[in-house]
Amino acid sequence: MEGEPESSTTGQVVLPTRRRRYGRVVIEIRDRRTEALVARSPEAVAYSTLAGFKRTARTLRWVDGAVELVPYIDILGRRGAQLQLGPNDGVAPLVLVDDGESAAGEPALPTEVVRSGEPSDSPSIVVLGGGPTNEVPDAYLDALHGCLLVIQDSHLDWWSDADRQQLEITYSFGDAPEVPVTRRTKDKLIARIHRNRKTLRAASDHVRLARADVIALLNVVGDKMRLGPPPDLRS
């Protein structure tokens, strides 16, 4: 991420999806080694299309020890208020969102209450995003985001047989081995896709590569949680 300091923490944007034009966005700061949550911002409105999420993700940066993000940028370039989060700001225990104020003049939506930090009481697949994406081809990112959005619904019944409530998916790009990594916590399984930037630059079909990465991750998750083969990925 742009401006990210050499420290024990890392910042990321979380983009929960909605079945309508508006989504939600929060900033999270996590421990780089354990991935434990250090701080989380209040929710704000995001433009819930792939292009909208990409516009938002590109504004994520470290400035003077804090993470900054513009959560809402519409197709005309109109921007909502900026979010900022520092490592010492804590995890917001209760978030009230007034969409009318946050969405740059868009029509108001019903207020939502989100209790941050509490485990879900039903099975869920959550895609947290990842990075850094500076050198990642748009074709790969678009295909990756598309596949991950699909499995949040299409693979939920499959995941519901696991002994953890939440499957949390992230992705990263760097020099580490190109294998999916999983880790169990008390109430979720954390799974990460990793792709080397050199492989991405050399690839001739980024769409096929992104789809293969998601399928590989699902197979590892299925083996880890003894769920059996995952359903076919339809996208």
Q: What is the pLDDT along the chain (235 residues), one digit of tens a residue?
A: 544 554 566 666 665 544 444 567 777 888 777 778 888 887 777 765 666 777 777 787 778 778 887 777 765 666 666 777 888 887 764 344 433 333 333 333 333 333 333 445 688 998 877 777 778 888 898 889 889 888 988 999 999 999 999 999 988 888 778 889 999 988 899 999 999 888 998 999 999 999 999 999 999 999 999 999 999 987 5
CATH number at residue 144: 3.30.379
| Total-model pTM | 0.56
In contact, 191 and 217? CB cutoff 8 Å: yes
Helix, strand, coil percent content, the chain, rounded in steps of 5 = 25, 30, 45
**Strand (E) positions, 86-219?**
95-97, 112-114, 124-131, 166-173, 181-184, 188-195
- Give the domain extent around 172: 124-224
Please report whether residue 230 resides in a domain.
no
DSSP-based three-state secondary structure for 27: strand
Answer with the one of 114, 135, 159 that is the final residue of a domain.
114
Q: Clarify whether residues 93 and 129 are in a common domain.
A: no
* Neighbouring C-alpha atoms within 13 Å toward the C-beta of 134: 8
